[in-house]
Amino acid sequence: MKTWKKVLIGAGAVVVIGGVVLFSIYQSNKDVVKVQTGKVARQDLTSIVSASGEIRPKEYTNVLGQGFGKITQIVVKEGDHVNRGDVLLRLESVQPEADVAAQRASIDSSQAGVQAAQANFKMAQATLQQRQADLEKAKFDWGRSQALYKDQLIAKQEYDASKSTYDAAVAAVASARAQVQQNKAAVDQVDANLAQNRAVLTHQTDVLSKTVYEAPIAGIVTYIAIRVGENVVPGIQNSEGSYLMTISDMSTVTAEVKVDETDITAVRLGQPADVTIDAIPNKTFTGKITQVGDQAILRTSGLATTQTEANSQEARDFKVIVTLENPPEGLRPGLSSTAKIQTAHKSNVLAIPIQALAIRSKQELAQAASGKQADASVTLAAAKTDSSDSAKDEVQGVFVVRNGKAVYVPVQTGVTGVTDIEITSGLQAGDEIITGSYSVLRTLKPNARIKVDNSAPKPDASATAS
């Protein structure tokens, strides 16, 4: 046989043998799933509830219009520190000042009238006393005349004169008493007029005082909404008066955030929180929960559920106040902030990555145990539905690497951290579990053959090109 034929036959044999080997390798690896794994380890876990909101002072006040008038002077400007009682602005006060001056003159006149009425009253009282003394004398003379006339010691004319004098004295006392009552009524009248004028003066003085606005609290003028020359209108019934400015006490700063209704049950007073402020990047400020709202707030409208009669199914939030322990200088109300509230903490607990947790149906696990292929769909734990029927048919667990297979182990969980979750039963420290990839975990079957590949994933070509 020629040499070239021998070479050709040998090459053909090598090709056939190589094909057989490759086919065998393909068959052996056909059902093998490439996975990523990790070890169950002990670590500290902190459960976090994140919520966004804005910076607000613990105490602030909106200065509103209290009376009609034109603004003539704004004493302060935004950013100024003011103490309680400091003048903020002034309104035009010509008419109120004139009203106060006129009313004070009226009071002076009323006081003079009171003095005159009291003098007349005292004079009437003195006259009454004089008339009563005259009556006593006339009564004595009349009694003596009666006795003398009875003994026929005086004439009838003298007797009649004595009686007439007595009757005149009685009438004079009655007249004097009536004059006293009349003067007493006059005193009461002028006293009432004086009290009325003083009440009017109080009103006029109050109107005048409302032309000068003073700071109700100490703090920073954080916003001024008016300008000189604009008119101020007071509140009427349910309508608020003109909004003038805001004064904020920034000595105690809070972050008012809105916590989702699904997380609010874990939030408690006194829990620590880390607060970040968009205006101050790369810095975190510590604080504590000082207030937890009891009333749900509709997310879109911002109204409390008690303020609307509609049975809305929209998402709800609850207001939570975080008081900052060491607020930085220069904070202003309204700055966007985010609070990460620590609702639970455990040390040295078994934990696994959250994405390793998966949900499988009881039917699928039973079929895997019997060696049959399961037709049921599978999901990760994060995709678990809220249906009570499906929940009864589902088992929460983790895939553990054992003898080259993915063995599904049911587990019980505890505290959930940012990326990891506590395992209270089902696993031990050092167990090798399947942690990825996400697409593999979604479709991985119990007892499937696996191949561990923990090499760094290659970058996405499309992402690199973009």
List the structure tokens of 378. 């599978």
Q: 3-class DSSP state for residue 10?
A: helix
* Mean pLDDT across the chain: 85
Q: Is the pLDDT at 458 greater than 80, yes or no? A: no
Q: What is the largest CA-CA distance in the chain?
A: 205
430 lies in some domain: yes
The verdict on 294 and 190 lying in the same domain is no
Higher-confidence residue of 456 and 455: namely 455
pLDDT-based confidence at 141, cuts 50/70/90? confident
Q: What is the pLDDT of residues 48-92, one digit of tens each?
A: 999 999 999 988 899 999 888 899 999 999 989 999 999 999 999
Read off the pLDDT band of 240 (50, 70, 90).
Answer: confident
Q: Which residues of 417-445 are buried (b: 16+ CB within 10 A; e: fewer)?
A: beebbbbeebbeeebebbbbeeebbeebb
Q: What is the CATH number of the domain that holds 355?
A: 2.40.420.20
Within a domain: 426: yes
pLDDT of residue 286: 95
Please report the pLDDT score of residue 236 as a whole number.
Answer: 76
Domain assignment present for residue 10? The answer is no
Q: Please determine, for residue 21, whether its predicted confidence score (pLDDT) is greater than 90.
A: no
Asked, for residue 299, whether it belongs to a domain, the answer is yes
| Statement to judge: residues 99 and 205 lie in one domain | yes
pLDDT beyond 90 at 40: yes
What pLDDT, on the 0 to 100 scale, is given for residue 92?
93
**Same domain flag for 318 and 356:** no
Residue 66 lies in a domain: no
Looking at the fold, whether 296 and 377 belong to one and the same domain comes out as no
Q: Where is the domain boundary, 324, 345, 366?
A: 345
Q: Is residue 292 over pLDDT 90?
A: yes
Residue 163, both tokens = 């009686």
Q: Provide the number of structural domains found in the chain.
A: 3
Of 345, 367, 389, which closes a domain?
A: 345
In a domain, residue 189? The reply is yes
Using a pLDDT cut of 70, give the percent of the chain over it.
Answer: 85
Burial readout 284-305 (b: 16 or more C-beta within 10 A, e: otherwise): ebebebeeebeebbbeeeeeee
Tokens of 177: 């008493």
Pair 267, 328 in one domain: yes
Residue 193 CB coordination number (10 Å): 17
Beta strands 336-353 and 358-361 are: unpaired
Nearest to 336 by CA among 256, 263, 247, 245: 256
Encoding tokens for residue 451?
């191949």
Nearest residue to 209 (alpha-carbon basis) of 80, 105, 381, 90: 90
**pLDDT at residue number 116:** 92
For residue range 81-116, list pLDDT tens digits in order.
999 999 999 999 999 999 999 999 999 999 999 999
Q: Is residue 68 a part of any domain in this protein?
A: no
Provide the pLDDT for residue 215.
94
- Which residue, among 283, 265, 285, 282, has the nearest Cα to 274 in the 3D structure? 285
Which pLDDT does position 53 carry in this prediction?
94
Query: Is a pLDDT exceeding 90 seen at residue 251?
Result: no
pLDDT tens, position by position, 187-221:
999 999 999 999 999 999 999 998 999 999 999 99
Contact 60, 219 (CB under 8 A): yes
Q: Per the domain annotation, does 369 fall within a domain?
A: yes
Q: Read off the amino acid at residue 69.
A: G
**End residue of a domain, out of 145, 177, 209:** 209
Q: Are residues 267 and 338 in the same domain?
A: yes
* pLDDT above 90 for 312: no
186 and 260 co-located in one domain = no
Strands (DSSP E) along 3-108, which ranges? 33-39, 41-64, 69-74, 81-82, 87-91
Look at residues 354, 449, 466, 332 and name the one whose alpha carbon lies nearest to residue 402.
Answer: 449
Looking at the fold, whether 336 and 356 belong to one and the same domain comes out as no
The pTM of the full predicted model, rounded to 2 decimals, is 0.62
The letter for the amino acid at 169 is: A
Tell me, what's the pLDDT at 300? 80
Domain that holds residue 385: 33-46+350-455
Q: What is the pLDDT of residue 374?
A: 46
- pLDDT for 382 equals 47
Q: What is the pLDDT of residue 25?
A: 45
Domain CATH number, residue 297:
2.40.30.170
